Amino acid sequence: MDKINSFSEYQEQYKKSVDNPDAFWSEQASTFLWKKKWDRVLDWEFKTPSVNWFINGKLNITENCLDRHLDTKADKTAIIWEPNNPDEKHKEITYKELHEKVCRFSNVLKANGAKKGDRICLYMPMVPELAIATLACARIGAIHSVVFAGFSAKALSDRINDADCNILVTSDGLYRGKKQMCLKDIVDDALQTCPTINSCIVLQRTGQQITMKDGRDSWWHEEDELVNSICDAEIMDSEDPLFVLYTSGSTGKPKGVQHHCGGYMVYAEYSFRNVFQYNEDDVYWCTADIGWITGHTYIVYGPLLAGSTTIMFEGVPTYPDAGRFWEVCEKFKVNLFYTAPTAIRALQVYGTEFIDKYDLSSLKTLGSVGEPINEEAWDWYYKNIGKENCWIVDTWWQTETGGIMISPLAHITKMKPTFAALPLPGIQPCLVDPDGKEILGNDVQGNLCIKYPWPSMIRTTYGDHERCKQVYFSTYPGMYFTGDGCRRDEDGFYRITGRVDDVINVSGHRMGTAEVENGINEHSRVVESAVVGFPHEIKGQGIYAYVILEDINAASDNLRKEILSTITKEIGPIAKPDKIQFVSGLPKTRSGKIMRRILRKVAEGDTSSLGDTSTLLDPSIVAEIIEGKV
Ligand code: WTA
């Protein structure tokens, strides 16, 4: 399939996608392998909401990722896997081998009773088997729910139970930098409260001692020996679910964002090819983890659909030293590189010594995702990594959008540091004022909404459609609300300014303040807490927690440590507050609502303009919090 080749072609395609979306998407979708073509392109309304793409089309996404490449690309490398430890040998898996491995594991899942529509949880390190298991679920029509392997037992069991998963795939342990962790111990703990799990399939990665439960647990390699490598792909409807992926919102527990087969497939490949301007022999590396949406769409599905070579990296940017990313770029002659601003900022601190050692001349396009990229990090990336020769694509999107929504197209769209630039064809963003009125024209600012469906949009939140409606489609009726604030400058370029709700973005990880508060409140001495984000040099945002204790005299550093370990147990280390301030009360309005605006200002260290505090039940609490005495 062709790419957009010039800015005028982008404008032409964009216009076509708005004037006649059905014709536009029909053309895009027709490049895939369908078992049966769709009857209609799109039916939709945003009230319920009900969105159906490629109606009555039949397909299997893995036939498009694998089988259809076998004629021409059987021996091409599909996945390069780089282990955590640079002394361990990397692996290269061809399309033919990947196809075979996926078919085998599909048969393992079937032998464990899996069938179409079942939910299967994957809790694994960044090893090829994670991609294989993901694709195997899709091949048999089971819905995968990948849970990032940094989440705690509690967070894992919550996600398993919310989706009633019946199979869990995991590993004995994992390596991350200098650390080795026992995943299976966490799993054993989690499964004590997961009655729906019948089988747990365990990959051997670290070889460490673990316990296997009779009748429930089995080894991946032993199961693999019992099956063959022939597995026809299940025929799926376009609107059959492909996966759920849990993500945090303003309120309550994380919700399972659900994506469906047909539309997700079309958009994953379309956006990958155009944003990165992927060429046939490009080597592509996205440093994300498959536990997040970026890994789903731009490590597994998008690149494999496009028939590219995609790198999976098990480690971290600073192990064994801060040159690791660049060493890997040199080693595999990476052309397209995609990472998060938090990684860039973390590496910036080490200077250029670790970059200069490596030949980065293969790089052409540098991507950024997950949070706003500050100008300093943008410049550093552009100069030191791209040597002023590469295009930077600052890609804005969300778990719910399934794919990149607003981004420059590499080597095509003019770059403006910190701007995500322009919507992809088919994407109709708009800015709205607090009353929900669309703000027209340029040089304006508002809340970012999308007013027309796109193929990879969220269809529902698992098991709770009402929640999907409330969170995304009720704030501004008739539109999808992103939760982000945004500026559109005089050229019509979009700059995302950050979340306008109670979601914070810590090192590119999305977290609900309510979720962190609930975790902190689990500590027996905590009565109540309020969490806000504050600007953090490396992480983008840090977590600031105000905590009320049963007995304020118990406040101590030791108690702080205990609270950190409670939150690690409840959610995982990524949710640990950077700062805990013990307070005797919180600034609440007479109706009991916490005035977070004030807490944010104090956390930022800016107490000069707290605004109107006259509606507070007890205004004196503000002074106490500012003094931070207690
Ligand atoms: C933020 C990650 C600014 C935004 C793919 C969004 C960004 C949230 C950018 C979604 C960007 C993502 N510039 N902000 N280029 N990309 N965000 O669901 O606040 O983990 O709403 O998806 O990250 O995070 P999520």
Which CATH code for domain 507-627?
3.30.300.30
Would you say the CB of residue 399 lies under 6 angstroms from ligand 1? yes
- Nearest CA owner, ligand 1 atom 13: 372
Please indicate whether residue 271, judged by its CB atom, sits closer than 6 Å to ligand 1. no
Query: What is the distance in A from the centroid of ligand 1 to the CA of 310?
Result: 22
Q: Cα of 436 to ligand 1 centre, how many Å? A: 22
Tell me if 483 CB under 6 Å of ligand 1. Answer: yes
7-316+395-486 domain in CATH 3.40.50.12780? yes
**For range 549-571, the mean pLDDT:** 96
SS3 assignment, position 564? helix
Check residue 468 and give its pLDDT.
Answer: 97
**With 60 as the cut, is the pLDDT of residue 582 above it?**
yes
* pLDDT tier for residue 101 given thresholds of 50, 70 and 90: very high
Collect all residues with Cβ–Cβ distance below 8 Å to 328 and sequence separation of at least 6. 82, 285, 311, 313, 334
Per domain, the residue ranges of the chain are 7-316+395-486, 507-627
Nearest to 541 by CA among 500, 505, 577, 580: 505
Q: Stretch 493-514: mean pLDDT, rounded?
A: 94
Look at residue 39 and give its three-state secondary structure. coil
pLDDT digits (tens, 9 = 90+) for 51-62: 999 999 999 999
Mean pLDDT of 159-171: 98
| Residue identifier of the C-alpha nearest atom 8 of ligand 1 | 398
Q: Which atom of ligand 1 is nearest to the CA of 420?
A: 15
The DSSP bridge partners found for residue 167 are 120, 199
How close is the Cα of 474 to the center of ligand 1, in Å? 21
Between 529 and 434, name the one with better pLDDT.
Answer: 529
**Residue closest to 385 by CA, chosen among 329, 310, 303:** 329
The alpha carbon of 252 and the centre of ligand 1 are apart by a number of angstroms equal to 20
Instruction: Kindly state if the Cβ of 370 falls inside 6 Å of ligand 1.
Output: yes
Two domains, one topology: 7-316+395-486 and 507-627? no
**Atom 7 in ligand 1: which residue has the minimum CA distance?**
371
Q: Which helix (H) or strand (E) holds 310?
A: strand 309-313
Quick one: which H or E segment has residue 582?
A: strand 579-583
CA-based nearest residue to 483, from 251, 256, 259: 251
Position 530 pLDDT exceeds 60: yes
The pLDDT value recorded for residue 28 is 98
Q: Output the CA 501–ligand 1 centroid distance in Å.
A: 13
Binding site membership of 496 for ligand 1 (Cβ less than 6 Å): yes
